[in-house]
Amino acid sequence: MAGNQNPFFTMFGMDDPFGAGEGSQQATPHVEFNATEDFHQLKDKFASMSKKALVALVIVAVIVLAAAYWWFHPPINIHSVDTWMFVAVFILLPTFLFFRAKTRAYKNGTSKVSSNAGKAKAFKVLSFVPVVVFALVLVGTLMSVSFFPGNAQKYASVLQTTDMEFTQDIQEVDYNEIPVIDRESAVLLGNRTMGAMSDLVSQFEISPLYSQINYQDHPVRVSPLVYADLFKWLQNREQGIPAYVIVDMTSQDAQVVRLEGDKAIKYSESEPLARNIDRYVQLKYPFYMFGEKSFEIDDEGNAWWICPVRDFTIGLFGGETVSRAVLVNASTGECQDLDVSEVPEWVDRVYPANLLIQQYNWSGKYKDGWINSWLGQNGVVQTTPGTDGTLGYNYIAKDDDVWMYTGVTSATGDNSIVGFVLVNQRTSESHFYSVAGATEDSAIQSAEGQVQNLRYQATFPILINVSNTPTYFMALKDDAGLVKKYAMVDIRSYQNVAVGDTVADTQKAYMSLIAANGSGEDSASSDSAIEASGTIKTIAQAVIEGNSHFYVTLDGDSRIYDFALPGMLNVVSYAVGDTITFRYIEGDPTSVAQEIVETAVNGTQDSSGQGGSSASDAEDKDGSDGSASGEESASGQSEEKAA
């Protein structure tokens, strides 16, 4: 562009940043252009138009306005920025120019209009109406900012969060329902299913949506097909989109679900005209402001679009939340306009994750006032960031709903968390759990350090409960995006890391690790723990990675039970022939003992469940010692080994 003077900058008397400076090799053409005079001439021509010309112009303007509204479909709502942009460009600016032109025409007179001071004054007053409207929008914007008096507390109360106890509210993990892959892996698996659609592969592609939902008590990601291009749409629009893809986040199975007949998807993002889902729902509900929609399926596998209705509670543009949701049947276009409290339970996502994170950050930042949010910052907290500069969050299944999970750290953003927050994406119910520990990023680095020779990369972790211990769970992927291993990291002590080739192996290694380090809490209420009782057949001790383990077998039981020290220290008071009752987690080749719940040493029970009879009890047994000493236990072990 060097050497060419930009007429835009010439018009306004500005230096052209793209023009030629001194020493330019190309001559710059010079054009005489008086912007002010030409602009006034244009206004004079506009003001002197005949009535027929004005009517024709108005008709054309209305048609253009209607076409622009249909195409851009902004919501008709004073809280919408899109609405005000549309009004400013298509209404306020033309109205202002029209009134100013009329003012000039009646003030100076033209060939068709004689001067009239009264009309000139009236049109001048009317020309200020668009300016006043614009000024009111600016005032409304000012009233939306957080430093406006009283707004800080309003922002802090948009999302109400309740403090909860982790061990009481979060049930121990069911490994048959835990999502073991992240969104990127789900997309990779889902896209590979295109090979199973030989009749569709040239006509359709898979949408990148991949919404995570709970379907038939399993975490899955679903995504519809889309038309490959405009010509493919012309060929297939009558039949609609015939399938969607579903990826099981637990089993990693991906399949194409065919939609036959009238169940085919007619309303989608890839529709360019009237059945475009955004245009369709906005024109049907013109006064609603719609947020980030999601694609979901109901319990019968029917396709739906979930369109949340945005609401602003502070000023014109502040305090965003969701007040309603419009459910659109993707096949028929049937709509259900529901309050958030009326949304059916099969719907999993009404509140977008980024909105929930923003709302929680408002409460963490402004709960003690705006000044404290940037000056003192006492008690100011924020959600933890992701690993790639984006928001750091994940999803867990709880109570047949999808809950967004993210860590909570101090305002300084250090490498530790003060707790974590779970927010229900259907109801916005929010729970905070006070757990001091490592951030997700620290846990990721710790897990990747265990396999640094393989250069695997960890997915963003999800939160699970293992023996009442808050635990990060993540998959470890290779450069191709394939899951190769799994890792569990103790939130409180992130140096406690277990890695395995399968989820079961990882669980077993982690259970042994937390038992050995004494970090696991009482797991008597664990649903996954199984109770066993019997006579000790063999007992042997081993040291693994610096930790002592006692391996026990029972008469008539083929399992090998792992009692890791110091967590299961009471096992040292047992010997071959003693009766023991305990709880354990099933594993292969060993099952990890969790708790000794009832002990019987040579027929005498200890109701405390802490293992071993007391010394006085042993002395009262007809002169026989009911508890085995360290030497006797070792002797019993050596005899059993010899046998």
Does 309 reside within a domain? yes
Q: Quick one: which of 325, 329, 336, 188 has its CA closest to 259?
A: 329
Cβ-defined contacts of 257-263 (< 8 Å, 24+): 257/301, 259/303, 259/331, 262/331, 262/332, 263/302, 263/303, 263/331
Is 323 found in the same domain as 200?
yes
Instruction: Characterize 442-477 residue by residue with b for buried, 16 or more Cβ atoms within 10 angstroms of its Cβ, and e for exposed.
Output: bbbbbbbebbeeeebbbbbbbbbbbbbbbbbbbbbb
Query: Rounded to the nearest 5°, which phi and psi values hold at 347?
Result: -75, 130
Statement to judge: residues 53 and 196 lie in one domain: no
C-alpha span between 498 and 589 (Å, rounded): 17
Amino acid code (one letter) for 347: V
pLDDT, position 517 = 66
Query: 350, 383, 417: which is the final residue of a domain?
Result: 350
Has residue 376 been placed in a domain? no
Domain for residue 371, yes or no?
no
pLDDT per residue as tens digits for the range 13-47: 444 443 444 444 444 445 454 555 555 565 556 55
Q: Report yes or no: 568 and 548 within 8 Å, Cβ to Cβ.
A: no
d(CA 181, CA 475): 6
Asked if residue 99 is part of any domain, the answer here is yes
Domain extent at residue 450: 440-518
The answer to whether position 404 is within a domain reads no
C-beta atoms surrounding 372 within 10 Å: 16
Q: 82 with 202, same domain?
A: no
Please give the pLDDT value at position 6.
Answer: 46
Domains identified in the chain, total number: 4
Q: Are 182 and 189 in contact (CB under 8 A)?
A: no
Claim to verify: residue 116 and residue 253 sit in the same structural domain: no
433 within a domain of the structure (yes/no) = no
Question: Do residues 117 and 243 share a domain?
Answer: no
What is the reported pTM? 0.74
Q: Which residues pair with 540 in a beta bridge?
A: 551
* Final residue belonging to a domain, choices 458, 484, 518: 518
Cβ neighbours of 93 (radius 10 Å): 13
Strand, helix or coil for residue 554: strand
Report how far residue 327's alpha carbon sits from residue 304's, in angstroms, rounded to the nearest whole number.
7
Per-residue pLDDT of 191-227, as tens digits, reads: 888 877 777 878 899 999 999 999 988 899 999 999 9
Q: Going along 520-578, which residue ranges are E strands?
A: 530-544, 547-554, 560-564
Check if the beta carbon of residue 338 is closer than 8 Å to that of residue 325: yes
Last residue of a domain, one of 297, 329, 350: 350
Q: Is the bond preceding 589 in cis, omega lying within 30 degrees of 0?
A: yes
At residue 497's C-alpha, the angle toward residues 495 and 503, to 5°, is: 165
Q: Are the beta carbons of 220 and 248 closer than 8 angstroms? A: yes
Distances (CA, A) of 144 to 135, 292, 317, 373: 14, 22, 6, 17
3-state helix, strand, coil split of the chain in percent (to 5) is: 30, 30, 40
Residue 543 resides in a domain: yes
Are residues 85 and 178 both part of a single domain? Answer: no
Tell me: do 459 and 576 sit in the same domain. no
Q: What is the pLDDT of residue 33?
A: 45
* CB neighbour list of residue 188: distance below 8 Å, 6 or more residues apart: 481, 482
Q: How far is the C-alpha of 571 from the C-alpha of 550, rounded, in Å?
A: 8
Q: Are residues 545 and 492 in the same domain?
A: no
How far apart are the C-alpha atoms of 466 and 509, rounded to whole Å? Answer: 12
d(CA 353, CA 130): 38
CA end-to-end span of the chain: 94
What are the residues whose beta carbons fall under 8 Å from the beta carbon of 247, sequence distance 6 or more? 181, 186, 189, 190, 210, 220, 221, 222, 253, 254
Do residue 221 and residue 246 come from a single domain?
yes
Single out the residue of 351, 347, 269 nearest to residue 309, CA to CA. 351
Question: Is residue 584 domain-shared with residue 549, that is, in the same domain?
Answer: yes
Compute the distance between CA of residue 605 and CA of residue 621 in angstroms, rounded to an integer.
Answer: 12
- Answer whether 441's CB lies under 8 Å from 415's CB: yes
| pLDDT < 70 positions in the chain | 1-50, 111, 388-389, 413-414, 516-528, 545-546, 598-643
- Are 134 and 259 found together in one domain? no
Residue 485 sits in the same domain as residue 565 = no
**Is residue 386 domain-resident?**
no
